[in-house]
């Protein structure tokens, strides 16, 4: 089949033919057997590709579904909130009758001494990053949930040197690498991940790009892949982010529920008294 016919068939399926071309297409279908047959092969090929694409998309959605289910293992049943409410009422009534009146008076007395449930943790100093400090979460040591702790401490790394306009002429069209870093700087982490994939292999090995990618992955809740990048960076020796990598590695471990590994990295940060010393100390204590 000639190229013109192939092009006509392809554009017909893309809905890109003008009225004249559409007439030509119909004419050839009706008069040219080979052409009509070629249209059938093309349609069959498109159907096969659609099925393959659908299979791939379904696989991605299933993986995402499993991830979501893992994050929320306890699903409330339809009337669970009613049960909770009922239990609270019963408990409150029970306490009201059982608890001695004198104790209640004592507890509500204005002169009664009060005690803080948890000692106040030292506030962390401003780090070198302009990013806001992570919230000073008070976490009950008995019920540490790595993912929740992660959410309380994780902020994607920011450093003014990453801003494109600071580094060069903003009017010029950015290179793929600059575009990736620009997306990162603008907080478009999903788009940055896509942009990373289109970098050449040399740029994909660049430590700055890898470190930023790990942050994007953490933001996208893909802690496992982030951890493997950061582990690799730790082994490959010094980089500009030497002091940052262990902190984000600990957070990657937390995101994937590997609390012990996270604690071991945090312990190292505390020992070395690095940039994230205060946060690491606090987090370590919380996880202990």
Nearer CB in complex with other proteins: 7/105: 7
Rounded distance between C-alpha atoms, residue 221 and residue 235, angstroms:
23
Q: Which is nearer to other proteins, 55 or 224 (CB)?
A: 55
List 23, 27, 60, 104, residue binding other proteins (CB under 8 A) = 60
Taking CB under 8 A as the criterion, the residue among 176, 186, 228, 272 binding other proteins is 176
Query: Contact, 179 vs 150, CB < 8 A?
Result: no
Single residue of 26, 27, 34, 53 touching other proteins by CB under 8 A:
53
Least distance CB 65 / other proteins (angstroms): 6
State the binding string over 66-95 for other proteins (x if CB under 8 A, else -): --x---x-----x-----------------
Q: Which of residues 135-154 bind other proteins (CB under 8 A)?
A: none
51 near other proteins (CB under 8 A)? yes
Identify which of residues 58 and 224 has a Cβ nearer to other proteins in the complex: 58
What would the x/- binding string for other proteins be over residues 22 to 41, using CB under 8 A?
----------------x--x
Nearer to other proteins, 45 or 93 (CB): 45
């Amino acid at each position: 089949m000639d190229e013109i016919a192939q092009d006509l068939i392809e554009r017909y399926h893309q809905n890109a033919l003008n009225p004249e071309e559409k007439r030509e297409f119909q004419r050839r279908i009706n008069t040219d057997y080979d052409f009509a047959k070629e249209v059938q092969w093309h349609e069959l090929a498109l159907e096969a590709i659609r099925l393959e694409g659908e299979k791939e998309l379904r696989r991605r959605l299933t993986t995402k579904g499993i991830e979501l289910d893992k994050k929320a293992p306890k699903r409330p049943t339809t009337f669970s909130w009613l049960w909770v409410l009922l239990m609270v009422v019963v408990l409150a009534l029970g306490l009201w009758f059982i608890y001695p009146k004198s104790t209640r008076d004592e507890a509500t007395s204005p002169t009664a001494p009060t005690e803080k449930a948890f000692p106040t943790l030292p506030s962390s100093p401003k780090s070198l990053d302009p990013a806001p400090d992570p919230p000073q979460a008070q976490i009950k040591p008995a019920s540490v949930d790595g993912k929740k702790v992660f959410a309380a401490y994780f902020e994607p790394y920011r450093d003014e040197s990453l801003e494109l306009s600071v580094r060069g002429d903003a009017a010029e069209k950015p290179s793929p690498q600059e575009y990736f870093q620009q997306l990162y700087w603008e907080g478009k982490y999903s788009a940055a991940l896509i942009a990373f994939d289109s970098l050449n292999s040399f740029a994909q090995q660049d430590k700055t790009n890898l470190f930023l990618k790990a942050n994007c992955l953490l933001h996208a809740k893909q802690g496992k892949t982030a951890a493997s990048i950061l582990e690799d960076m730790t082994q490959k020796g010094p980089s500009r982010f030497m002091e940052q990598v262990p902190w984000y590695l600990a957070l990657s471990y937390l995101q994937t529920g590997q609390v012990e590994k996270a604690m071991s990295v945090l312990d190292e940060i505390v020992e070395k008294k690095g940039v994230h010393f205060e946060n690491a100390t606090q987090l370590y204590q919380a996880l202990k």
